[in-house]
Structure formats: structure tokens, C-alpha cells
Chains A and B, each alone.
Chain A
Amino acid sequence: MRANATTRVVGTPVPRKEGAEKLHGRARYVDDIEREGMWYGTTVRSTIPRGLIRSIAFDESFDWREFVVVTAKDIPGKNHIQLIIADQPCLADTQVNHCDEAIVLLAHPDKHKLRAAAAAVEIDYEPLPAVLSIEESELRDVIVWGENNVFKSFLLQKGNVDEVWDQAAHIVEGEYRTGAQEHLYIENNGVIAEYSHEEGVTVWGSLQCPFYVHRSLLAVFALREDKVRVIQTETGGAFGGKEDFPSILASHAALLALKSGHVVKMVFDRMEDLAATPKRHPSRIRHRTAVDEDGKLLAIEIDLGTDGGAYSTLSSTVLSRATLHACGPYVCPNVRIRSHAWATNTVPYGAFRGFGAPQSIFAVERHMDEIAARLGMDPVELRRRNFLREGDTTATEQLMREPVMMNDLMDRILEESSFYARKMRFAQENPTSAVKRGIGIAAFFHGAGFTGSGERYLNSLAGIDVTADGQVRVLVSSTEFGQGTNTILPQIAAEALLVEYADVGMAPADTRVVPNSGPTVASRTAMVVGRLVERASLQLVGMLRSEGLLAAEYSRDEFFAACERYRVLKGELVSLCRYEAPPNVFWDDQEYRGEAYPAFAWSIHVAQVAVDMTTYSTEVEEYWAIQEVGRVLNPVLAGGQIEGGVAQGVGYALYEKVLLENGHMANNQMTNYIMPTAADVPAIHVYFAEQPFAYGGYGAKGIGELPHDGPAPAILNAIRNATGLACNAIPLLPEDMLAKLSEVAAMQKDVIR
């Protein structure tokens, strides 16, 4: 892919900034770091889903002399993890509310001694009734959180659905369910913590958001801001799973460091990471939709429930995004969405690529195919008739002020996938084949950046500086964990400064060094932070010019000479910019109305599946994804994001199941939590369209989460095409397909009788 005619560095496939280190095996992840005199920590966790802690006893026959023990009593500040609400304790004190909740921490210089020590801690519980599903929670027989088990609820209304039902040509109802999903980053969670009176708390770790961890530690340790320092180590995958959880682990390791007087490392093994850390919210989404004879959407009513686990953590914001994406990329004059995040006694669910949108998009895109089936209409045509267009408003009355390319994207992807030709061929071949093939689509959008006033609230600060040895450094708290932060931000700076990509690096992700440019989440890095870096770079050029050090046109060498002279004059050369909301972005949190997101990325996915009726298993044979993302900053990285997101979505749809037994993850090993291997992923064809967003870094909108929204509905729609089966729950395992076939056979038998 050649560079865009107007940019030199942005839009080109420059190599990953830290790529060589990773390929040499020299990149240092937290468990690669050894410190002199380091101790190791472990956690004693609840074995029941809910109950009072009656006592904590330490087996007297065990030699505890060399161990350091930490309980809630040792917490100097507040016993909570500061996130949105502070309801989650750092360490359980009088009660546990989920299996695998942390109660006691142990440290010892020899990590081999920890397991026996943990087994010698005897915790006596008085079990309490536990709530383990959305259904149990909404019954409210047992209240496990707040007054009514509800972390958060929303009511989103537009027009008046109640006036429509009686006149509608068709009303279609459906219920859709999605299961929990584990991030399965290949690097488990881990941190190293140190405490000293002079420095306070210092933490190194595998994490996405250094300042989230920083803020959390301030509360736990009751320290001043300058007495807490958080440094991100090379992070082996995150996907949202290291957004808030590291705050817990960092607090734990730091408590042990404080009490022991030693540096303490805590790194999970896979079994602990799977059992004890957050996963994607399960959901139950009910649709009731009125359409006219031509398939135009007249009214959408949705009841949306998520399972938030035992503490609120991020459930309110996940619910918000789920609610705002629940109607899909369609225009409808009448909408009512009631959504609730329910408390249960399971490990709190958290952020995972998509953050509520994959759940919502699964439901609405499956439902669109059901509507099409009811009308006897082509599912493609149904969508075309309802796509949002410039001038339409969304469910929150957000006006589409720019052209929406959905019909163009549809044209292109239908052609690239030979959609109708394949569909026809499968229809001919399937009747005489034991393997049924089908092709399905999903059309969706994904709001980039924080919802509504979120970005204003974050009030991000970011920029660049130029060091004494003539290196430009990007100053952001945005972290790299594979998605390309360390590459695209230097590309943006190099472009704006008119220097080379090699001239620009990243300042370390260290809260003592970089400003708070907000968390690395919500597909905001390229758009929001990239824009700040772009503005700060132009501002720096302006600073040089206003000192008369740089001409209107200049060479790279002249630039660095000017920087040097500026440094001599002023001591340092730093340029920071603060977030400015784009114009016309107003969000009313009370009424839940207005511009939910400054920009949307738009996408359509097509999946071809083969359903083997001998084994009831489905494989995705081939996949096409087209997306309009504003601006592709780096085609290799952007393509990689789409392919990786699609692969995770394939897992979400067909392979990945979290099996809970009494609230504990029973399949907490990689041998039985199944993700697709190299032998399972389909060929994935990726196409980009660009419609630059004026307020994103060089026109970029978000891209990281978008691709995870499409696969599950595209695949299950393809299964419907292949078999006629309307499967509405994921993951759809072969066992579920067999159960569905048996159910259909039984119903047909009833009909015949």
C-alpha cells in the first residue's frame, strides 16, 4: 500500500518501533525482570461464592517465621479499589462475594514455599445464599448488592414505541444470549512492587493504564501523588483484561512490599489468571421490533441485561456502550431500551475489546436476519433499507453530520466475497451434502473514544519533547500491548514535525515521566491521543518559529539545530496540549441524549461457514471484513488489528466457553478453555475505506475494538443460511447445535401430531 499523496510517514507500513527487540527475544516482560533480594507473593482466595468470614487461622504446625502475611487490617489507607464506584475491596475483610476473591496475601523469598503456605491458611466461612445468574439476580429473592442487585440501569427513548405496535405490518421478537469470554492474553498478569519511605510505592507491571493503577494505589496507601510511581513493563497482550485488574494486583504486591521491606514479585500462573481475573460480561438481550411491509424499522424495543459479577467495577460503562449500540447502524423513529447491569456472586466482569458492543451487535444483527426471514426478504436488502444516512439521527438523536458509507461498503464487500454466487452455489449443493455451507453478514458501527462527556472528564494531556541528544519523544500515558501505540504516535509526530520516523521515540510509560493522556482503552489512542500528539507537534514547530529559530520551510537537520538552540535558550523543549472537544459534541447524561460519540467507525463482515452434520461442528472457512475507519495510519498494523479481532470473534462465537461451577471457573486451563489455533482460523480478507475525521490524529477514528463486533452475528447468520437453524446463543458449540436440532425435531413431531 503506497503512502497517501499528502502524507509521508502516516499511512506507510513502517516497522513496529519495538519490533526488533521482540523478535530477538530481548523485550522484557515483568516476569523476565529479577531484582536483588526479591521476594515472591501469592494470594489466598475464597472457595465459596458468598459468605461471612468467621475466622482466618494459620496452621500452627507450619513454620511461619519466614513468611510475611497481609490481611485487610494491614491496609494503611482505604480498603477499596478506586475505579468508578469504590465498592470492591482490595482484600476481603468480613465477607466474600465471589469465588477466588482475595483474602490473605503471603510473601517469602523462596517462591517454592508459597503453595504449601497458602494451603496452611485455614479460612472458616459461614456460607450465604449466592446469586449466580441474571435470572436469579432479577428475581431479587436474595439481594447481594445495593438495594436491588442493580449496578446500573438506563432508559433510552426516542419517539414513542407504544403508538406503533397496533399499526405495524409485522412484529418480530427474539431473545439472544452471549456468554462470558476470557481475554487469554498469552502473558499472564504480573507486577513487581517496591516500597521505601523516600520513594513511596513503585510498581512495574503488565498493564494498560498506568494512571488508573496510580490513582488506585493512592487510595490504598493514603499517599501523596508524588509518592506513588507506576511503570508499565512490556505487556504481552491485554484486550481490556489489564485495564482495571492490575490495580488490584499492584495493591497486593505493594502491601507485601510495604510489610516485608523487600521488593515483591507477583506473577499469576495460567490457572489463577483464568479463575480470578475479569472476563467479558455475559448478556441476555430481548428484541421486539415493528416493521412495515417494506421492511422499514418502525419501532425497536429492547430489554438488555448484563451480568456484572460481584462488584460494579466497569459494569456501568459497559452497559452504557451496550445500550448505545443496541439498535445497530440503523435509523428508527421510535426506540425504547431498558438496560440493567445485574450483580451476581461471580468474579466481576470487566472490559474486553468491544466493551458491550459485541453483545449488542450480536443481538441486533441476528435479529435483523430473523426479521428478513419473517418478511421473506433478502437480509442484505433489509439492511440497506434501514442504514443510517447523513441527516438521520440515532436512537440518542445524534445527527449524522457526515456521509455514512454503509451502502458503498456493502456494495464492495458483496463483490469481494462473491456473496450471491456463493449463496446460490451452497443452496444447490447443500441438499446432497453432509456438510452444509452458508454465508452470512453483519453490519455495525462502533463509537470511537469515551462515551458522551467522558473525554471532557478525562481531560487528557499529551505531547512531545526533544531531548538533549536530539531525540523527539512522545509523552503519553498510552501504552503499547501489541496494537501499535509505540508506532503510530511516532508516525504522527514525525509527519507533523517533518522529520523521520526513526527520529521519534516514546518516553517510557512511567507516571513520573509522562502526562496523563487517559487510559489505553475505548479505541481512543489513534483518534484522541493521536490528535493531541499532532497538535502538540505543530505547536512545537510554532514555538521554534516564534523564537525566530525556524523558517517557513525547513529540513530535518535545520529542525534539530533549531531545537538545540531552543534548549540553550530555555533549558528544555516540551510541547503539551490538552484535550479539546470537537464542536457539536453535546451529551446529556441525565436524559441520555445527544452526541454519544464524536465519531463512529463503520463496518460490514461476511462469514462463510461449513456445518458438518455428522459432528454438528461449524468451521469458518473464509471471512471478509470491510471498515471505514477515518484514516489508516499504518496499513500493516491496521490490518493486524482487524485480523486479530476477527479471530477473537470467531472464538467468541464457536469455541470459547467459560464453565462455572458454583461460581468458580471449572475449565481454568488452556487445555479446556478453547481458542482457535492456526489450523482453525479462516482466511481473512481485509479492506479499508477512509473518510478522515477532522478531530482524529491525521483523520483517524478508532479501530482496535471494531472488528470484534462482527464475527459472532456474521457466523451465526451464516449458520442460519446453511442449516435453516436460528441459533441465538453463543458460544455455539457442537453440543448446542445437536441440542438445537433435537429441539427442532421434537417440535416438528409435535406439529405433525
Chain B
Amino acid sequence: MRGNARSHEMVAPGDLAGVLELLAAEPNAWTPIAGGTELMVAYAAGRLNAKKLVSLWGIPELRFIEWNEESVSIGAATTFRDLRAAARIAVEFPLLAQSAGWIGSIANQSRATLGGNLANGSPAADSSPVLLAYDAEVETISARGRRRFPYSAFHTGYKRNVLAPDELLFALHLPRRFAGHQQYLRKVGTRRAMAISKVALVVTALIEANRVQEIRIAAASLAAFPTRLTATESALTGNLLDAAVIACAQAALLKEAQPIDDIRSTAEYRRKVAANLLGECLQQFAAGSGTR
């Protein structure tokens, strides 16, 4: 254990207004900490540079799942356990419910939050590809007001995002229009549980008479930050799902993907497996057997 508790300050205003006031008063000074499953690991390894932390734990205004007619709104401090336990999420957004079970272990899921996963911005993040595939919107909040924009615009580089120094992630909004979509997700890790992703693929598609009307393909660990594979999507949109098209899409993915070698895996493996996953996905869609 290489962290020193005495070198860090932490405050817990207890409500959203208190947190935003603090961030506005001293922008860039305070690092938000939600469930701690990321920051406390860095802390124990002696790598937590943030000396001043503001706790987002136990703030009900940030932890909610609200159903509207057009969308579902999920508070940024919603835990993965909350997501797994929400029956309606499992029905309407099965990929989100399933990916929530990918995170760490049961003990981690009860603390890790959706907002924390996104704000940390690892290219291997488990929830990011799902939110991209579900066309989610991000809502951020600060003392100056709120912003709402597509999640696909949230990440701008390796562990960089568009949050201003006084801003917090407030909620994710998922449009309720995927009931008729084919859905696929698969994560490839080092083992069945407690595994950081080597590569993951998440896909939603509207297929009619075996023709791809629209498709969203998102991946983990194929780029510096979570992103959709738009060139691969183009190779599919408007086409029939036959063997040639599938092969073409796999070739597009092999070109579009930009994985790296790291401590967990190799670029070659990530690329090849991602292409295999796409093939598996499209074959399931062609057979009409994707998750609904």
C-alpha cells in the first residue's frame, strides 16, 4: 500500500449544489470521486496525483433511473449493481444490463458508477461501447448550467474528454427506440470474471428483410478512446447481410481498428478477434438470432 492518507484532503458536501459550488469556486483544484474503484486503486499504487477530492458518494440527485416516454435517464452516480437490478433496463437495454455484469466483481459493481467509468475514459471501459451503440446523450452540469450532447462527442483523446474544470457528468440519456433492433455484445478478457477488457464489440442494428437499415458498431480497446467504427458501419449500411458483405465489413474493421500492444494483449490479437466478433455478430443478425 503506497498511498498516504495524510497527503490527501477529501470533502463531502452531501448534495449536488454543494459539489458544484466547490468546483466553481476552485476549478481544477478538486477531483470528484464517486465509488472509488478506479481512484482508490491508483491511490494504493502510489499513483494518485489528485490531492483534493470531493466525494460524489451518497448524493441521491446523481443516482437515479428515470423513465420518460422517449428516453431513460440514468444518473451518473448510478452503480452497476443498480443497473443490473433494474428490470426494465434488462428488457429495453439488455446490452447495458449485461455489460454492467462485466465490471470487476460483485463487490466492485456495488461501488463502481456509470459516470466514473466514463470520466475515467479508459479505452477498455466496459460501458462506453454500449452507450455508443445505444446512441446515448450525455448531460453535464455545472454552476453555470447544463449541457446536453451526443456521448460520441464526449471523448477527445486518450483519457481526455470535454468536461470543463467546473463540470460534472450529470446523466446519460438513452433513446427508447431499440426494441426492434438486433443487438450483440461480447467482451474478451483474460478470464471469465474480474477481467479488464482486451477487446469488446457492441452492436445494435435495424435489419429488415436481411438488409441493414442502420447499424452502430462500437468497440473497446481498438482506439485511443471509445469510439464507433464508422467506416465499418458504412461497409454495411444499406447492404444485404450475405457472406461477401460480411467479409467486406471484416476487412473494413481490420483496417479501421487501431489497437496497441500493451501489458494485457497485442494489437494483432485485438484486431483479429474484433474482426471475428463482427463476423459472429453479423451471422447472428443474418439468422435473426441477435439479442432483442
| Contact, CB under 8 Å: A112 / B272 | no
| Contact, CB under 8 Å: B192 / A680 | yes
List of B residues within 8 angstroms of A735 by Cβ: 265-266, 268-269
| Contact, CB under 8 Å: A269 / B1 | yes
List of A residues within 8 angstroms of B195 by Cβ: 674
| Contact, CB under 8 Å: A115 / B191 | no
B280 within 8 A of A: yes
Q: Which of B41, B188, B190 contacts A674 (CB 8 A)?
A: B190
B-facing mask of A645-667, CB < 8 A → 1, else 0?
Answer: 00000000001000100000011
B-facing mask of A598-639, CB < 8 A → 1, else 0?
Answer: 000000000000000111110100000000000000000000
Q: How far is the CB of A255 from chain B (nearest CB, A)?
A: 23
A669 within 8 A of B: yes
With A674-B190, A677-B194, A735-B265: A115-B46 Cβ-Cβ less than 8 Å: yes
User: In the bound complex, what is the Cα–Cα distance between A332 and B277 (angstroms)?
Assistant: 49
| Contact, CB under 8 Å: B191 / A677 | yes
| Contact, CB under 8 Å: A659 / B277 | no
Which residue on chain A has the smallest CB distance to residue B46?
A115
| Contact, CB under 8 Å: B280 / A659 | no
| Contact, CB under 8 Å: B4 / A738 | no
B120 within 8 A of A: no
Q: How far is the CB of A725 from chain B (nearest CB, A)?
A: 16
| Contact, CB under 8 Å: B263 / A614 | no
Which residue on chain B has the smallest CB distance to residue A619?
B192
User: In the bound complex, what is the Cα–Cα distance between A680 and B189 (angstroms)?
Assistant: 12
| Contact, CB under 8 Å: A112 / B6 | yes
List of B residues within 8 angstroms of A269 by Cβ: 1-2, 44
List of B residues within 8 angstroms of A671 by Cβ: 41, 196
With A269-B1, A672-B263, A672-B264: A616-B194 Cβ-Cβ less than 8 Å: no
List of A residues within 8 angstroms of B264 by Cβ: 672
- Between B44, B45, B192, the greatest number of chain A beta carbons within 10 A of the residue's beta carbon is seen for B192
A679 within 8 A of B: yes
List of A residues within 8 angstroms of B1 by Cβ: 269
B87 within 8 A of A: no
User: In the bound complex, what is the Cα–Cα distance between A619 and B193 (angstroms)?
Assistant: 13
Which residue on chain A has the smallest CB distance to residue B262?
A672
| Contact, CB under 8 Å: A679 / B276 | no
| Contact, CB under 8 Å: A434 / B190 | no
List of B residues within 8 angstroms of A680 by Cβ: 191-193
User: In the bound complex, what is the Cα–Cα distance between A115 and B239 (angstroms)?
Assistant: 61
List of B residues within 8 angstroms of A619 by Cβ: 192
User: In the bound complex, what is the Cα–Cα distance between A617 and B272 (angstroms)?
Assistant: 13
Main secondary structure of the interface of A (DSSP, over half): loop
List of A residues within 8 angstroms of B2 by Cβ: 115, 269, 271
Q: Which of A655, A659, A669 contacts B45 (CB 8 A)?
A: A669
User: In the bound complex, what is the Cα–Cα distance between A614 and B269 (angstroms)?
Assistant: 11
List of B residues within 8 angstroms of A615 by Cβ: 188, 273, 276-277
A734 within 8 A of B: yes
A569 within 8 A of B: no
| Contact, CB under 8 Å: B265 / A674 | no
List of A residues within 8 angstroms of B4 by Cβ: 112, 115
| Contact, CB under 8 Å: A617 / B263 | no
Q: Which of A659, A669, A679 contacts B191 (CB 8 A)?
A: A679
A333 within 8 A of B: no
Which residue on chain B has the smallest CB distance to residue A111?
B1
Q: Which of B190, B196, B273 contacts A655 (CB 8 A)?
A: B190
A515 within 8 A of B: no
Q: How far is the CB of B160 from chain A (nearest CB, A)?
A: 23
Q: How many residues of B contact A (CB 8 A)?
A: 29
User: In the bound complex, what is the Cα–Cα distance between A678 and B192 (angstroms)?
Assistant: 9
User: In the bound complex, what is the Cα–Cα distance between A667 and B190 (angstroms)?
Assistant: 13
A676 within 8 A of B: yes
User: In the bound complex, what is the Cα–Cα distance between A672 and B191 (angstroms)?
Assistant: 11
Which residue on chain B has the smallest CB distance to residue A676?
B191
List of B residues within 8 angstroms of A666 by Cβ: 263
Q: How far is the CB of A106 from chain B (nearest CB, A)?
A: 15
User: In the bound complex, what is the Cα–Cα distance between A225 and B6 (angstroms)?
Assistant: 44
List of B residues within 8 angstroms of A659 by Cβ: 263
A-facing mask of B1-22, CB < 8 A → 1, else 0?
Answer: 1101110000000000000000
A-facing mask of B187-212, CB < 8 A → 1, else 0?
Answer: 01011111110000000000000000
With A115-B2, A115-B46, A269-B2: A616-B196 Cβ-Cβ less than 8 Å: no
Q: Which of B46, B192, B269 contacts A738 (CB 8 A)?
A: B269
| Contact, CB under 8 Å: B191 / A655 | yes
List of B residues within 8 angstroms of A667 by Cβ: 263
User: In the bound complex, what is the Cα–Cα distance between A655 and B189 (angstroms)?
Assistant: 11
Q: How far is the CB of A76 from chain B (nearest CB, A)?
A: 32
Q: Which of B45, B190, B194, B263 contacts A271 (CB 8 A)?
A: B45
| Contact, CB under 8 Å: B46 / A434 | no
Q: How far is the CB of B145 from chain A (nearest CB, A)?
A: 39
Q: How far is the CB of B44 from chain A (nearest CB, A)?
A: 8
Which residue on chain A has the smallest CB distance to residue B4?
A112
List of B residues within 8 angstroms of A616 by Cβ: 269, 273
| Contact, CB under 8 Å: A738 / B272 | yes
Q: How far is the CB of B45 from chain A (nearest CB, A)?
A: 7
User: In the bound complex, what is the Cα–Cα distance between A655 and B191 (angstroms)?
Assistant: 8
Which residue on chain B has the smallest CB distance to residue A119?
B46
**Chain A 247-302 interface residues, beta-carbon cutoff 8 Å to B:** 269, 271
List of B residues within 8 angstroms of A271 by Cβ: 2, 45
**Chain B 246-292 interface residues, beta-carbon cutoff 8 Å to A:** 263-266, 268-269, 272-273, 276-277, 279-280
Q: Which of A613, A669, A677 contacts B193 (CB 8 A)?
A: A677
User: In the bound complex, what is the Cα–Cα distance between A112 and B6 (angstroms)?
Assistant: 9
Q: How far is the CB of A727 from chain B (nearest CB, A)?
A: 16
User: In the bound complex, what is the Cα–Cα distance between A615 and B280 (angstroms)?
Assistant: 11
Q: How far is the CB of B283 from chain A (nearest CB, A)?
A: 10
List of A residues within 8 angstroms of B280 by Cβ: 434, 614
Q: How far is the CB of A516 from chain B (nearest CB, A)?
A: 36
User: In the bound complex, what is the Cα–Cα distance between A13 and B40 (angstroms)?
Assistant: 43
Q: How far is the CB of B257 from chain A (nearest CB, A)?
A: 15
List of B residues within 8 angstroms of A112 by Cβ: 4-6
| Contact, CB under 8 Å: A677 / B269 | no
Q: How far is the CB of A114 from chain B (nearest CB, A)?
A: 10
Q: How far is the CB of A472 from chain B (nearest CB, A)?
A: 42
A-facing mask of B82-102, CB < 8 A → 1, else 0?
Answer: 000000000000000000000
User: In the bound complex, what is the Cα–Cα distance between A678 and B279 (angstroms)?
Assistant: 30
Q: How far is the CB of B18 from chain A (nearest CB, A)?
A: 30
User: In the bound complex, what is the Cα–Cα distance between A734 and B192 (angstroms)?
Assistant: 13
User: In the bound complex, what is the Cα–Cα distance between A617 and B41 (angstroms)?
Assistant: 28
User: In the bound complex, what is the Cα–Cα distance between A293 and B276 (angstroms)?
Assistant: 43
B-facing mask of A420-437, CB < 8 A → 1, else 0?
Answer: 000000000000001000
User: In the bound complex, what is the Cα–Cα distance between A434 and B45 (angstroms)?
Assistant: 40
User: In the bound complex, what is the Cα–Cα distance between A588 and B192 (angstroms)?
Assistant: 49
| Contact, CB under 8 Å: A677 / B192 | yes
List of B residues within 8 angstroms of A739 by Cβ: 268
User: In the bound complex, what is the Cα–Cα distance between A738 and B1 (angstroms)?
Assistant: 37
Known: A112-B4, A271-B2. 4 other contacts (CB 8 A): A269-B2, A434-B280, A671-B41, A672-B190
- Which residues of A are interface residues toward B (Cβ below 8 A)? 112, 115, 269, 271, 434, 613-617, 619, 655, 659, 666-667, 669, 671-672, 674, 676-680, 734-735, 738-739
23 A-B contact pairs sorted by A residue (CB < 8 Å): A269-B1, A271-B45, A434-B280, A614-B280, A615-B273, A615-B276, A616-B273, A659-B263, A666-B263, A671-B41, A672-B190, A672-B263, A672-B264, A677-B191, A677-B192, A678-B193, A680-B192, A680-B193, A734-B188, A735-B265, A735-B269, A738-B269, A739-B268
Q: Which 8 A-B pairs have the closest CB atoms?
A: A679-B192, A679-B193, A735-B269, A614-B276, A674-B190, A677-B193, A615-B188, A112-B4
- Which residues of B are interface residues toward A (Cβ below 8 A)? 1-2, 4-6, 41, 44-46, 188, 190-196, 263-266, 268-269, 272-273, 276-277, 279-280
